[in-house]
């Protein structure tokens, strides 16, 4: 029987490069989704304003994107701002709306160089013009890239996404674009914001919360879930590798027999 504590110590003694090489020998999740939680608590523990936690969390986005790209992950979806996050204090929301601009201004040249393709899913209509402009620039500047897809879920909510998809399906049926008898899970998925992406293989949520928080409810039906108490600003490359290692040990049966 494998001693998990001994295995964990062994992994801790490995360098990041050594551990990466071991992980790359196993199956790599094609699409990883992350609920980045704990920025506010990270700041509160240090008697700092919440925006300091969001700024620190931005650094984590950068290093995890680099690592996912190096591992060969095809798509990385990050839950950056939910439709419910508008309920937060205005000062915090205003700062969060400026983060994409700040992040992409500094990181975009590296994304271009590393062959990363930026995408976004969510409702753009409520977002400030400077936020939308920053995202559109990143999407345009990386549109020729064919490496990792970095997909930001911004002003995104899964129930709203599903309802919007239902309305589009009904409209297409009324207009004769779709035969309702041909509607199935596969065709419905084409109406979702993730229609160009495979469903996530692995979901990571930080900060100790064990819920989906209205994130990709349709797409996560058979996704492997991995939760950690680590707050997002403290989430390291080794934590990400630990999540992938856990994924590699699981048997994915999709409802069938193993």
Catalytic residue among 85, 123, 145, 214: 85
HSE (CB half, 13 Å, CA atoms) of 74? 12
State yes or no: 41 annotated in a binding site.
yes
13 in a known ligand binding site: no
83 is in an annotated binding site: yes
The yes-or-no answer on residue 37 being catalytic is yes
Among 101, 54, 71, 104, CA closest to 244:
71
* 82 annotated ligand binder: yes
Q: Is 38 annotated as a binding residue?
A: yes
- Asked if 126 and 155 touch (Cβ cutoff 8 Å), the reply is yes
Determine if residue 86 is labeled as part of a ligand binding site.
yes
Q: Is 141 a catalytic residue?
A: no
How many CA atoms lie less than 13 Å away from 98 in the CB half-sphere? 9
The answer to whether 54 is a known ligand-binding residue is yes
Residue 42 labeled ligand binder: yes
Picking from 118, 17, 31, the residue whose alpha carbon sits closest to that of residue 72 is 31
What is the spatial distance between Cα 38 and Cα 50, in angstroms, rounded to a whole number? 10
CB neighbourhood size of 155 (10 A): 23
Please indicate if the annotation marks 209 as binding a ligand.
no
Q: Is 8 annotated as a binding residue?
A: no
Burial class (CB in 10 A: 0-12, 13-18, 19+), 124: middle
Choose the catalytic residue: 37, 69, 151, 155.
37
246 is in an annotated binding site: no
User: Which positions make up the binding site for substrate?
Assistant: 38-42, 50, 54, 82-84, 86, 88, 205, 211-213
> Which residues does the annotation mark as catalytic?
37, 85
User: Which positions make up the binding site for Mg(2+)?
Assistant: 37, 224
User: Which positions make up the binding site?
Assistant: 37-42, 50, 54, 82-84, 86, 88, 205, 211-213, 224
């Amino acid at each position: 029987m494998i001693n998990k504590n001994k295995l964990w110590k062994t992994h801790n003694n490995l360098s990041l490069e050594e551990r990466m090489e071991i992980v790359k020998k196993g199956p790599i999740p094609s699409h990883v989704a992350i609920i980045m939680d704990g920025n506010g608590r990270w700041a509160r523990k240090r008697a700092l304003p919440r925006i300091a936690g969001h700024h620190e969390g931005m650094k984590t986005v950068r290093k995890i994107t680099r690592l996912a790209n190096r591992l060969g992950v095809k798509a990385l979806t990050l839950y950056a701002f939910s439709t419910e996050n508008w309920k937060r204090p205005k000062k915090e929301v205003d700062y969060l709306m400026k983060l994409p601009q700040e992040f992409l201004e500094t990181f975009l040249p590296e994304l271009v160089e590393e062959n990363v393709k930026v995408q976004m899913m969510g409702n753009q209509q409520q977002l400030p013009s400077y936020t939308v402009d920053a995202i559109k620039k990143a999407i345009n500047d990386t549109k020729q890239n064919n490496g990792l897809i970095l997909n930001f879920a911004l002003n995104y909510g899964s129930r709203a996404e599903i309802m919007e998809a239902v309305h589009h399906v009904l409209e297409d049926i009324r207009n004769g674009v779709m035969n309702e008898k041909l509607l199935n899970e596969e065709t419905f998925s084409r109406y979702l914001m993730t229609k160009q992406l495979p469903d996530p293989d692995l979901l990571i949520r930080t900060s100790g919360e064990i819920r989906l928080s209205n994130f990709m409810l349709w797409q996560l039906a058979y996704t492997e879930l991995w939760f950690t108490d680590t707050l997002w600003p403290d989430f390291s490359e080794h934590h990400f590798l630990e999540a992938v290692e856990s994924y590699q040990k699981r048997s994915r049966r999709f409802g069938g027999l193993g």
